[in-house]
C-alpha cells in the first residue's frame, strides 16, 4: 500500500495502546499537581520568534540550531515553540495573571518542536508536562516544586531515580565563575570537541554538560561553580538543602548541572535514572527570576520544571511498569435483529451516561461474530438481546472470566442492576 503522504522524520504517531499509557501518565501527573494547587494553562504552539530569542538566549543551542522558524504571510517572524516555560510566562504577563494573588501556580501539557537529530527517547516533536510557580523568591517554593516532581515519579512507579541539584548563582557570581572556567579550559582547548570549541566564547557554561569522553575528563577537574557563589546565593542554596533535608528528599549536589537555557539562575535540578545504559534526565528545571523582566514585564521571581513525556514512557517500558490503573470493565451488549439492536444501542447509552464503559454492534454482525469481537476487545461482561428477551423484558448478564450469570431487567432498573453486579 503506497500512501500519498507518510509521517515526517522525527515526528511520532501515538497509536491507541500507546495513547492509553500516555493518558495514564498525564492523569497521574495532573492529579498530583492539583494537590499542590496548580491550575491548567494552555498556550499557542505558534509564537513570535523574539519570545525565545529573548528567553532562551541567542547563544543557546535552541536558538542557534534547533528552532523551527519562518515568516508568516504577514511577514512576521514566528516559530513553533521549542519549550513551554517562556510561553507560559508570556501568557501570564500579557493577561495580567501576575496582578492576581501570588504565588501563581500553573501546569501545562504542550507539544514542542526542535530540529535536532532524532534518537531514542528524543524526537523533533515532543511533549512536555510542566509546573511553574510565579511570584515567589522563597526557597520553600523551590522545595515544593521538587517535592511535586518527586511524588509524580513515585506515582508513576519509576525506580532508581536520583535527584541532583546545583546552584548556578546570580549574574554577578556566575560571571566570576565563567572567567575562572575559561582560564582553566584554555589550557585544554586543543582537546575539546568541536561543539565545545564553538561554545567556549558564546556559551561557556554549556561545556559542563558535554557527554564526549575527552571533554568529560577535562570537566571533572574544572573549578566548581558552588565555590564562586556570592554570600546571598550561597545562603539561598543552603536554605534549599535544609528544606529538602526536612522533607526527607534525598539528593546529591552535581556542579555539572547548568541547564540549556539562558534564563536560569540560582537553583537548578534534575531527576535522573538509567536509560539505555546511561544516566538520563526525565525531569529538569530550576529558578528563572529574571525572565519576566527580559520579556518586558515587572520583576517576578519564578521556578519551574518540565517532564519529557516520551522519555518517561520509554523508561516505564524499559522498567516493565504497567498501566497505573485498570481500565473500567467493558460491558458488551449483543443483539440478534434490528429491533434488539436498537434496544442494545439505547442500553449502552444509558450505561455510558452512568459512567460505565459499554459497547454494542455497529456492523450488523451475526451473533457469533459479535461474541468473538467481544472476546477480542476484552469484554468483562456480555448481555445478549433477541426477540425472546425483548418480549420477557429481561436478559442474562454473563461474567466472562468465570461464566457466572445474573438476570438483568431491560427496563428503567437496568443501569441500577448492572451497577450492583459490577461494583
pLDDT for the residue 120? 66
What is the SS3 assignment for 4?
coil
At residue 59, does pLDDT exceed 60?
A: no
At residue 53, does pLDDT exceed 90?
A: no
Angle at 41 (CA atoms; ends 36, 43), nearest 5 degrees: 150
How far apart are the C-alpha atoms of 409 and 197, rounded to whole Å? 77
pLDDT tens digit string along 96-120? 999 999 999 999 999 999 987 776 6
Instruction: Check whether the bond before 194 is cis (ω within 30° of 0).
Output: no
Report which of residues 59 and 119 the model is more confident about. Answer: 119
Question: Which helix (H) or strand (E) segment is 243 a member of?
Answer: helix 231-246
- Summarize the confidence of residues 258-286 as an average pLDDT: 88
pLDDT for the residue 135? 97
pLDDT tens digit string along 319-334? 999 866 656 679 999 9
pLDDT for the residue 54? 83
In what side-by-side order are the strands of the sheet with 358-360?
Answer: 358-360, 331-335, 381-385, 394-399, 405-409
> For residue 57, what pLDDT band results from cuts at 50, 70 and 90?
low
Class of domain 331-417: alpha beta
How far apart are the C-alpha atoms of 119 and 243, rounded to whole Å? 37
pLDDT for the residue 248? 95
Start-end of CATH 3.40.50.800 domains in the chain: 331-417
Cell numbers for 232, please give them.
546571598
| Range from 116-120, 189-193, 246-250 carrying the lowest mean pLDDT | 116-120
At residue 133, does pLDDT exceed 80?
A: yes
Q: Where are the alpha helices (DSSP H) in 247-354?
A: 291-294, 309-318, 338-353
How far apart are the C-alpha atoms of 33 and 49, rounded to whole Å? 30
Q: Which residues contact 5 (CB under 8 A, 6 or more apart)?
A: none
At residue 62, does pLDDT exceed 70?
A: no
Start-end of CATH 3.30.930.10 domains in the chain: 16-170+230-318
pLDDT tens digit string along 2-44? 899 999 898 889 898 889 999 999 999 999 999 999 999 999 9
- Summarize the confidence of residues 148-162 as an average pLDDT: 96
Class of domain 16-170+230-318: alpha beta
pLDDT for the residue 29? 97
pLDDT tens digit string along 358-381? 999 999 999 999 999 999 999 999
How far apart are the C-alpha atoms of 96 and 364, rounded to whole Å? 56
At residue 204, does pLDDT exceed 80?
A: yes
pLDDT tens digit string along 156-187? 999 999 999 999 999 898 889 889 888 888 88
- Give the rounded percent of residues in the chain with a pLDDT score beyond 90: 72
- Summarize the confidence of residues 390-413 as an average pLDDT: 96
> Could you count the other beta carbons within 10 Å of the beta carbon of residue 107?
22
- Summarize the confidence of residues 380-402 as an average pLDDT: 97
Q: Chain-wide mean pLDDT for the chain?
A: 91
Amino acid at each position: 500500500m503506497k500512501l500519498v503522504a507518510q509521517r515526517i522524520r522525527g515526528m511520532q504517531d501515538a497509536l491507541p495502546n500507546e495513547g492509553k499509557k500516555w493518558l495514564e501518565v498525564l492523569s497521574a501527573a495532573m492529579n498530583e499537581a492539583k494537590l499542590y494547587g496548580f491550575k491548567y494553562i494552555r498556550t499557542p504552539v505558534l509564537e513570535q520568534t523574539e519570545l525565545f530569542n529573548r528567553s532562551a538566549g541567542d547563544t543557546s543551542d535552541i536558538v542557534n540550531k534547533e528552532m523551527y522558524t519562518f515568516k508568516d504571510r504577514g511577514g512576521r517572524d514566528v516559530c513553533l515553540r521549542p519549550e513551554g516555560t517562556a510561553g507560559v510566562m508570556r501568557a501570564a504577563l500579557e493577561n495580567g495573571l501576575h496582578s492576581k494573588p501570588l504565588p501563581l501556580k500553573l501546569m501545562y501539557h504542550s507539544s514542542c518542536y526542535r530540529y535536532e537529530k532524532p534518537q531514542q527517547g528524543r524526537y523533533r516533536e515532543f511533549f512536555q508536562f510542566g509546573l511553574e510557580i510565579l511570584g515567589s523568591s522563597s526557597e520553600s517554593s523551590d522545595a515544593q516544586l521538587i517535592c511535586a516532581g518527586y511524588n509524580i515519579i513515585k506515582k508513576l512507579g519509576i525506580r532508581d531515580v536520583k535527584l541532583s541539584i546545583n546552584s548556578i548563582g546570580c549574574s554577578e557570581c556566575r560571571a566570576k565563575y565563567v572567567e575562572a572556567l575559561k582560564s582553566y579550559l584554555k589550557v585544554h582547548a586543543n582537546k575539546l570537541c568541536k561543539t565545545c570549541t564553538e561554545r567556549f566564547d558564546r556559551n561557556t557554561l554549556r561545556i559542563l554538560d558535554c557527554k564526549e569522553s575527552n571533554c568529560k575528563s577535562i570537566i571533572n577537574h574544572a573549578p566548581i561553580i558552588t565555590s564562586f557563589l556570592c554570600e546571598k546565593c550561597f545562603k539561598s542554596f543552603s536554605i534549599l538543602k535544609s528544606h529538602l533535608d526536612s522533607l526527607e528528599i534525598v539528593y546529591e549536589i552535581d556542579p555539572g548541572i547548568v541547564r540549556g537555557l539562558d534564563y536560569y539562575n540560582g537553583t537548578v535540578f534534575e531527576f535522573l535514572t538509567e536509560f539505555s545504559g546511561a544516566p538520563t534526565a526525565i525531569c529538569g528545571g530550576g529558578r528563572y527570576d529574571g525572565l519576566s523582566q527580559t520579556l518586558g514585564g515587572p520583576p517576578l521571581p519564578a521556578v519551574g520544571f518540565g517532564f519529557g513525556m516520551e522519555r518517561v514512557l520509554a523508561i516505564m517500558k524499559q522498567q516493565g511498569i504497567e498501566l497505573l490503573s485498570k481500565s473500567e470493565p467493558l460491558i458488551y451488549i449483543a443483539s440478534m435483529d434490528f429491533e434488539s439492536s436498537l434496544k442494545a444501542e439505547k442500553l449502552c447509552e444509558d450505561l455510558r451516561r452512568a459512567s460505565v464503559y459499554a459497547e454494542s454492534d455497529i456492523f450488523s454482525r451475526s451473533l457469533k461474530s459479535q461474541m468473538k469481537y467481544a472476546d477480542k476487545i476484552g469484554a468483562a461482561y456480555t448481555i445478549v438481546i433477541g426477540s425472546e428477551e425483548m418480549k420477557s423484558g429481561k436478559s442474562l448478564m454473563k461474567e466472562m472470566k468465570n461464566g457466572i450469570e445474573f438476570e438483568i431487567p431491560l427496563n428503567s432498573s437496568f443501569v441500577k442492576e448492572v451497577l450492583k453486579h459490577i461494583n
